[in-house]
């Protein structure tokens, strides 16, 4: 069983279900990527794992513990970090204050973690006193990821971290994400750039209409002719 696992999740925002027995999970130190066409329920599946969606069926477990009924805040306490797709920084606050807010629930001194985040994203150290809203898209994503890392999570969940950034910045961000995974953190992310994301993925989930279509290693999915034809543009 995976370290973090959303199993047979069924539910939606209103009466109609968006997810139909959808299963996604990730192991410690690995990267799992959720891809699929628009409206496939990728982000919804992610939100369901994080507790932002009421599930009618299925369960979410972390490290063997059932966390299905916990609120998102309680899941953060348990060691989940979440980076939303949009509005994921405090725009009027400085980079450093953004990171401080990330560590808000910690009772110990977070300065070591902040130093680690600055090592991971050196540009943030340079711009530590600048309001996050004034940074470029890629830098803002770094702030958002850095903020989530401040709680020292065991799992980091990223909702389209490369949305709206240039291909160069995307490669750079993926490199950093691999680095984070190597430090032992499980990474579950939703991506539009399916090919590049599956390239760095240990495990890939292809969703369609709220259900699992293909599940395999990233490499296998990339080489699967059906997946290539349907989702990766040949």
Q: Which residues bind another protein (CB under 8 A)?
A: 72-73, 76-77, 82, 84, 87-93, 97, 100-102, 104-105, 147
Q: How far is the CB of 221 from another protein (least distance, A)?
A: 31
Q: How far is the CB of 104 from another protein (least distance, A)?
A: 5
Q: For another protein, which is the closer residue by CB, 131 or 164?
A: 131
Q: For another protein, which is the closer residue by CB, 77 or 217?
A: 77
The β-bridge partners of 207 are 212
Separation between Cα atoms, residue 155 and residue 205, nearest integer Å: 17
Q: For another protein, which is the closer residue by CB, 92 or 126?
A: 92
List the alpha helices (DSSP H) in 22-121: 42-50, 72-78, 95-102, 111-120
Do the beta carbons of residue 8 and residue 20 sit within 8 Å?
A: no
Do the beta carbons of residue 11 and residue 18 sit within 8 Å?
A: yes
Q: For another protein, which is the closer residue by CB, 38 or 87?
A: 87
Do the beta carbons of residue 26 and residue 3 sit within 8 Å?
A: yes
Q: For another protein, which is the closer residue by CB, 77 or 183?
A: 77
Q: How far is the CB of 95 from another protein (least distance, A)?
A: 13
Q: For another protein, which is the closer residue by CB, 13 or 104?
A: 104
Burial grade of 44 (CB within 10 A; 0-12, 13-18, 19 or more): buried
Q: How far is the CB of 119 from another protein (least distance, A)?
A: 22
Separation between Cα atoms, residue 163 and residue 179, nearest integer Å: 20
SS3 letters across 188-232 = EEECCCHHHHHHHCCEEEEEECCEEEEEECHHHHHHCHHHHHHHC
Q: How far is the CB of 161 from another protein (least distance, A)?
A: 15
Q: For another protein, which is the closer residue by CB, 82 or 231?
A: 82
Q: How far is the CB of 217 from another protein (least distance, A)?
A: 31
DSSP H/E element including 146: helix 137-149
SS3 helix, strand, coil % of the chain, rounded to 5? 40, 25, 35
DSSP H/E element including 56: strand 55-62
Q: How far is the CB of 163 from another protein (least distance, A)?
A: 16
């Amino acid at each position: 069983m995976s370290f973090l696992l959303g199993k047979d999740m069924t539910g939606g925002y209103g009466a109609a279900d968006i997810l139909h027995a959808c299963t996604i999970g990730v192991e410690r130190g690995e990267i799992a990527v959720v891809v699929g066409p628009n409206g496939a329920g990728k982000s919804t599946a992610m939100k369901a794992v994080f507790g932002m969606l009421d599930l009618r069926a299925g369960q979410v477990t972390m490290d063997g513990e059932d966390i299905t009924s916990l609120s998102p805040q309680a899941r953060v306490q348990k060691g989940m970090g979440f980076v939303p797709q949009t509005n994921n920084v405090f725009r009027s606050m400085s980079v450093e204050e953004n990171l401080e807010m990330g560590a808000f629930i910690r009772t110990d001194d977070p300065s070591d973690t902040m130093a680690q985040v600055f090592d991971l994203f050196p540009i943030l150290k340079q711009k530590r006193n600048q309001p996050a809203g004034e940074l470029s898209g890629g830098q803002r994503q770094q702030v958002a990821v850095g903020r989530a890392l401040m709680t020292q999570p065991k799992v980091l969940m990223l909702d389209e971290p490369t949305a709206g950034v240039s291909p160069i910045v995307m490669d750079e961000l993926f490199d950093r994400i691999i680095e984070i995974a190597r430090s032992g953190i499980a990474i579950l992310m939703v991506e539009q750039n399916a090919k590049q994301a599956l390239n760095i993925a240990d495990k890939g989930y292809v969703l369609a209409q709220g259900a699992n279509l293909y599940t395999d290693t990233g490499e296998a999915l990339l080489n699967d002719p059906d997946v290539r034809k349907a989702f990766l543009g040949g």
